[in-house]
Every structure is written in structure tokens, then in C-alpha cells.
A and B are shown apart, each in its own frame.
Chain A
Amino acid sequence: MTSVRQLVQDAGVSASAYSYGFLDETAKREIRRKTLKAIAIPGYQVPFGSREMPVSRGWGTGGMQLTLSLVGPDDVVKVIDQGDDAGVNAANIRRLVERTTGLSTTLETAMASIIQSRHRIPEEALRSDQILVLQVPVPEPLRNVERRVSAARVMHAERDYSKMWLALYEDIVRRGEVSFGAGYPVMVHGRYIMAPSPIPRWDIPLLNQSDALYLFGAGREKRIYAVPPHTSVEPLQFDDYPFAVEDFDGKSCARCGANDTFLEESISEVGMPRFRCSDTAHCDKVLESREVGT
């Protein structure tokens, strides 16, 4: 038998030294059990024995553990970072999935059975045979109003959310409106307030009554939670201060021309703002259909 030491010393670090999907079977079983529990209690944060992954904690280890415990030989995986398949972190995670499972990956949303994403939900509607795994930096939506994990757990258990609502009220009084940008807190199935991960407001309505299953993994904070298909997800809002998504004021993507997507602003060399689709796969698809059309 080749010793692990030998393999490590071989510098190439042969992936075959590791289990399928990096994690050992016990770990994968535990994560799958906790995932089932999360699906059974929509929006509830299930603590799990988060393993250390071969990237830094806080760089998507929660999502990675979910993806790697779920994939099987028939899966096709897509990885996105802030909407971008080619983002550095996405590329890195995709590489880990490929190396430890031998699976093929895709850039096309429609082709994927499991999509791991950081801070975006794809523009293209997801289907019931797809799972979206979101990476979560801070799973606790109440952290801003209650920094103690133990106290926040009690608040969730008792559905005691007046501190959260008070924070929204004070925001409106002092700043004119609720100032959450990305990561707007939502109420799931009328029971738990949930951190949707730092997706833009634009993506929040996509969580509601979706066909696909959403899983959320926070590796550093050791929590898994879920929004099952066809579950009600509502942003926290006052009747007279309704939630609104980002308004791009008629601007369109400089690349594909779309004006119905979440746009990302960049500053050109001459200091002028320039907009383009944040979801690069969707942008490609629109561009392609345009070219075919002409």
C-alpha cells in the first residue's frame, strides 16, 4: 500500500489518495442526514459537524460539503461565483469537484443537476430536478440584532422576532427605508426568519414557491438550512414600506443588450459606469440567440 506520506511527498498530491468527493463516507452520511432535516424544517438552521476543506474556511466550504455529499456519478455540476462561472473562486471549487469525483461540469444552467453558487441565483428559471446550493458566510439573520448564537437560537425557537422588526423600524426612521442591500432577511413558511445568503434583492423573489430545491451551507459557522420546492419565502417588510428589488432605471447589458437581468456596474478607464449582466452564462445565452437570430 502506498503511504499517504508518500503521496503527499510526491508533490503532485494525487487525488486518488482521497475519497470520492474528498469527504469520507461517515462525513457525507452525516451531512446528508442533516440536509434532510433542514428540508423537513424549512428555514431552520441545522448545526452539523462541518469538516475542514482544502480551501480556507469562509471560501465556500459549507456549499462545498453539501455539493460533495450530494453528487453521484450521474450528476452534472455547475459552479458560479457572484454570477460568474469563470470567477476565481468558482473555477477553484469546480476544479476540486472535478478532481475528487471525476465528474464533468458545465457552464450551462439548464444542463446542471447541482448548481453551487456564491451570492447569486441564476436568471434562468430552475427546474424541479435541479438543486441550487448557496454558500453562506453568516447563516444567522439575527446576528445584527443579537450577536450571541445561544440567545438567537432561543429567539428562533420562540419565534420572537420583535428585535428584528424593531431594527427595520429604526432603519426606516433614521435612514428613510430598510437599508439591507444584499442578504435581505426573509420569512420562510411563516415560521423562521432566514438569511438568504448575500444574494441581491433582485434574487429574493426567486426563492418564493420555486420549483427547485435550495440548500444553504455555512462551513465556518457549521450550519445547513433549506428552502424546499414550493415554499413561501417573503422578505420582511412593512405594509407601507414594501420591499423593492434593485432598479436599473432602463439600463441594459453592454454585452448582450438584456434589460431584464441583474446588472453589474464597473468603471471604465475614463471613469464612466458601464453595465453588464452579472449572470455570465445567461449573458452568453442571450448573446448566442441574438447572433443566431441575425
Chain B
Amino acid sequence: MTGPILSVSDLSVIHGNECPDCRTSTGPEVGTNTCASCGAVVACTDVSFDVYPGQVLGIVGESGSGKSTVLQCIYQDLAPTRGDALFAEFEQGDRSIWQANRRQRRELRTYSMGMVYQNPRQGLNLLVTAGGNIAERLLAADWRRVEDIRDTASHFLNRTEVPINRMDDFPAFFSGGMQQRVQIAKALANNPTLMLLDEPTTGLDVSVQAGVLDLLREIQSSKGMTVIVVSHDLAVIRLLADRTLVMRHGQVVESGLTDQILEDPQHSYTQLLVNSAA
């Protein structure tokens, strides 16, 4: 059996000056993210997990649980306070990606990872065309033929069901659903090994959500892509994730196979989540 593609250990993100009490005065038992002793905000502590090739890992929790923080650290939008993340495509997994220099970080984002943010405005440049948004990732990977770039952009827009005749239009004028599809096409453009989805359907109308979810599931299974999906919505997790972490107040309270967690939740918080979703 092959090893994990990504192995995160002891990830902690603390905003403000940390004190020795931070760890014990926050978390699900205490019911807060703010350290009573020093006032630091503990976004997440001691988060560890492995992701295997082709697997979809779900992270579920309410807002403030730290789930998006974990994703932002992996995509390096945010620097962790401590922890390691060994990634198969970075120095053979010998060194944490959080020790990468700026150029290496950019290479990871260009060649190995794709990110879909909840708000398409974060992942798209609304001042350039839909095709240009996809081109940006290809250009970063040194593509230098306009025709090839446009063929590939068409391919992925087609794949994500964006009409090709909108390729040279500005996504600022697109509907929210279509913006999200362009963002997914952009994230897919370099065939990333690891796809990161941060609440990919949360901002969308309910009628549009199902279509985007089907699309994501279909692309994942056809490509065998490794995915980490973060959501507050158990329905999204149920549909996409093989394994799931449940987070609350910055800590992982439960983890396991998604089916198992949904059928037989162990932690009281998970039980609450499952029951209220039912």
C-alpha cells in the first residue's frame, strides 16, 4: 500500500501572543477559542491527519471551528504557528511544506495544488477574462502558446459547464454559480494532485448547489483526484467525503470513515450535528 500524499501533524494556529495556558483554556471542553489568560485567539491546535491518494477527506464543523484555517495553511495563504505538513510532491515528503521558501510555495500552488474558495472573488481575478483566469495558472507553468492555452481553457470551461462563448467575457458579470464553475475550472487547469475546496457551495443558491456538487463528485471520481473539502454542511460531506474530521473550537473531536461517523457518532457534538441535520 502506498503512503499518504499529505501528512499533517500537530498543526496549531494562534493569533496574538501565545501563553502556556492557551492549550488548556481553549477547545471544545472549555467552549471557546479565546485564551482566558492572555487573550490570544486559538484558531486551531494539534490538528493531525493523513490523506491518501485518490481519497476525499471532509472537514466539518461550525464557523470558528478552525476547519478553514487548516485549509488555508495547506494552501499557504496563512502561516501556521507550528506543525508540519509532509507532501509527497515536495522534496519527497522529507521536509514540511511550511519550511518551503516563497518560490517553492508558489511552485506548489502552480503545479501541485488547486484551491476553490467559498467566495469566487477570492479565487478569481475579476479584472481579467474567464479564459485569462485559467490562462494565469498555465502561464505560471510556462505555457507559451496562445492556441494551446485557449484549447485547455475551453476544455476545462466545457468540463465545468461554462458556455465557451463566455470565455472572453469578464466573470464580474457572471452569476454566482457560473463564477464558481470558472473558479473550479481555474483550480483544475494544471491537473493538480491535491484539490482544496473551502465551502465550495455555501454561497450559492440551493438550486445551483446540487449541480456544482455533482460536477465536483464526477470530476473527482473520473480523475481519481485527492481532495480535502471543508464544509459546515453535513450533506456536502456525506456526498463527497470518504473520511471525515469533525472539528470544534480549534480541535478535532472525532475522525473516521464518513459513513461510520454519520451512522454512529461518538462525540456528543457530532451527535448534535448529525441529529440536527437529520
Contacts and interface: CB of A to CB of B under 8 A. Distances in A.
Contacts of A170: 128-129, 132
A160 B146 contact: no
Interface residues of B, number: 17
Majority secondary structure, A binding face: helix
Contacts of B149: 169
Given A165-B139, A166-B135, A166-B136, A173 B168 contact: yes
B23 interface: no
Nearest to A173: B168
Contacts of A239: 144-145
11 contacts: A158-B102, A158-B106, A160-B140, A162-B136, A166-B135, A169-B135, A169-B139, A170-B129, A173-B129, A174-B168, A238-B145
A173 B132 CA distance: 9
Contacts of A240: 145-147
Interface of B: 102-103, 106, 128-129, 131-132, 135-136, 139-140, 144-147, 149, 168
Contacts of A238: 144-146
A88 interface: no
Nearest to B133: A166
B132 A169 contact: yes
A208 to B, nearest CB: 18
Contact of A166 (B139, B144, B145): B139
Contacts of B103: 158-160
Interface residues of A, number: 17
Contacts of B145: 238-240
A165 B131 CA distance: 13
B58 to A, nearest CB: 32
A126 B144 CA distance: 32
A154 B106 CA distance: 12
A216 to B, nearest CB: 26
A241 interface: yes
A17 interface: no
A7 interface: no
B106 A169 contact: no
A170 to B, nearest CB: 5
A172 interface: yes
Interface string A158-186: 11101101100110111000000000000
A177 to B, nearest CB: 10
A166 B106 contact: no
Contacts of B144: 238-239
A58 to B, nearest CB: 29
Nearest to B102: A158
A162 B111 CA distance: 13
B132 A162 contact: no
Nearest to B101: A158
Interface in A125-155: 154
Listed from nearest, the 7 A-B pairs whose CB atoms lie closest are: A162-B140, A165-B139, A239-B145, A162-B139, A238-B146, A166-B136, A169-B135
Nearest to B132: A170
A154 B132 CA distance: 23
A239 B144 CA distance: 6
Contacts of A166: 128, 132, 135-136, 139
Contacts of A163: 136
Contacts of B106: 158, 160
A115 B5 CA distance: 59
A153 to B, nearest CB: 12
A241 B147 CA distance: 10
Given A154-B102, A160-B103, 12 more contacts: A158-B103, A158-B106, A160-B106, A166-B136, A169-B135, A169-B149, A170-B132, A172-B146, A238-B145, A239-B144, A240-B145, A241-B146
Contact of A173 (B102, B131, B139, B140): B131
B32 to A, nearest CB: 37
A151 B179 CA distance: 27
Contacts of B131: 173
Nearest to A162: B140
A264 B131 CA distance: 38
Contacts of A154: 102
Interface string A233-266: 0000011110000000000000000000000000
Contacts of A241: 146
Contacts of B146: 169, 172, 238, 240-241
Contacts of A162: 136, 139-140
B34 to A, nearest CB: 34
B67 to A, nearest CB: 30
A166 B146 CA distance: 11
Which of B106, B139, B145: most chain A CB closer than 10 A? B139
Contacts of B102: 154, 158
Contacts of B168: 173-174
A173 B168 CA distance: 7
Which of A172, A173, A239, A241: most chain B CB closer than 10 A? A173
Nearest to B137: A162
